[in-house]
């Protein structure tokens, strides 16, 4: 499950409630038949079946990556521990740094160590708060695939709080949208993407416009020879496989994707591409 929302919407607070870091004012949180209780009831926060990875990594800086990852694995079976540790280090793509002390790692590498350590004992559920925020784009895409494939293969439930659609769009079974600490939408990522009922939801998925009181993504508009929508090009942004065109439509700024560059001040016509709806 993915939790999305603007900064301050309550994503991290919700994860902390699920983990038992806060006491509830009302209601209950249950995992199967176990009630999740806060610090008023638990001297030690958390539960054995649940792990959490936050944006502040709780690591041992003066020990190696493999020692951090294998910290909670049993020493009674040294060969199994060694194999398991190596497997987890491979999942987070830190093989070359297995013997390196954590204090010498970058922020993104530390985040990957924290992820590996959290899944070491195969919890029933893992809570991830912006799990890829410190990781550069060179590693982020393959790491996402590795991690979520591993969790699904091991049948580990996962709740991810994020502001980046790429963290969850291809992986989440369900998504909830928070706004001012309230759930304003709950559906599959595909349903929310195809039928966003508010600008807040549409903004999570990319550039969008409001045309005739309707939410229209930038990719749903196309350039045509003639239509009722006449716009003036303001600027163009190269996006690799396409150009994002910013234009003025009756005094409102709109964005649409185009295969080629357009010149500033060009008068153009656009329409909603029915095939992409």
CATH of the domain at 68: 3.40.50.300
Tally the domains of the chain.
2
- Are 83 and 138 found together in one domain? yes
**Which residues of the chain fall short of a pLDDT of 70?**
55-56, 275-277
Structure tokens at 81: 């521990």
Q: Are residues 188 and 166 in the same domain?
A: yes
- Which pLDDT does position 137 carry in this prediction? 81
Q: Provide the percentage of residues in the chain whose pLDDT is more than 90.
A: 78
- Could you tell me if 110 and 237 lie in one domain? no
Helix (H, G, I), strand (E, B) or coil at 255: strand
pTM for this predicted structure: 0.88
Backbone φ, ψ for residue 251 (5° rounding): 90, -10
What pLDDT sits at residue 210?
Answer: 95
| Token pair belonging to 34 | 């176990």
What is the rounded (10 degree) CA torsion for 118, 121, 125, 130? 10
Q: What pLDDT, in 10s, does the model give residues 162-197?
A: 988 999 899 999 999 999 999 999 999 999 999 999
Q: Among 171, 193, 215, where does a domain finish?
A: 193
Say which DSSP state 142 is in. H
What's the pLDDT at 277?
53
SS3 173: coil
By residue range, what is the domain housing residue 251?
207-276
Q: Which long-range contacts (CB under 8 A, 24 or more apart) does 71-74 make?
A: 71/117, 71/120, 72/117, 72/120, 72/121, 73/120, 73/121
């Amino acid at each position: 499950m993915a939790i999305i929302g603007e900064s301050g919407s309550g994503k991290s607070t919700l994860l902390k409630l699920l983990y038992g870091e806060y006491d509830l004012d009302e209601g209950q949180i249950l995992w199967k038949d176990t009630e999740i209780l806060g610090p008023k009831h638990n001297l030690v926060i958390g539960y054995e079946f649940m792990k959490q990875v936050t944006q502040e990594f709780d690591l041992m800086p003066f020990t190696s990556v493999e020692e951090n990852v294998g910290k909670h694995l049993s020493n009674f079976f040294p060969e199994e521990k060694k194999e398991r540790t190596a497997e987890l280090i491979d999942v987070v793509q830190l093989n070359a740094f297995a013997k390196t002390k954590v204090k010498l790692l970058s922020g993104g590498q530390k985040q990957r160590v924290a992820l590996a350590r959290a899944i070491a004992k195969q919890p029933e559920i893992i809570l991830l708060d912006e799990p890829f925020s410190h990781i550069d784009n060179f590693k982020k895409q393959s790491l996402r695939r590795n991690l979520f494939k591993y969790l699904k293969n091991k049948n580990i439930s996962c709740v991810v709080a994020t502001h980046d659609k790429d963290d969850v769009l291809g992986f989440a079974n369900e998504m909830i949208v928070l706004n001012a600490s309230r759930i304003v939408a709950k559906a599959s990522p595909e349903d929310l993407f195809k039928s966003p009922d508010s600008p807040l939801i549409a903004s999570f998925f990319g550039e969008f416009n409001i045309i005739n009181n309707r939410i229209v993504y930038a990719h749903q508009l196309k350039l045509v020879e003639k239509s009722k929508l006449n716009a003036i090009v303001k600027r163009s942004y190269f996006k690799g496989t396409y150009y994002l065109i910013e234009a003025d439509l009756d005094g409102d700024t709109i964005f649409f994707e185009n295969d080629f560059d357009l010149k500033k001040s060009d008068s153009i016509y656009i329409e909603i591409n029915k095939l992409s709806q």
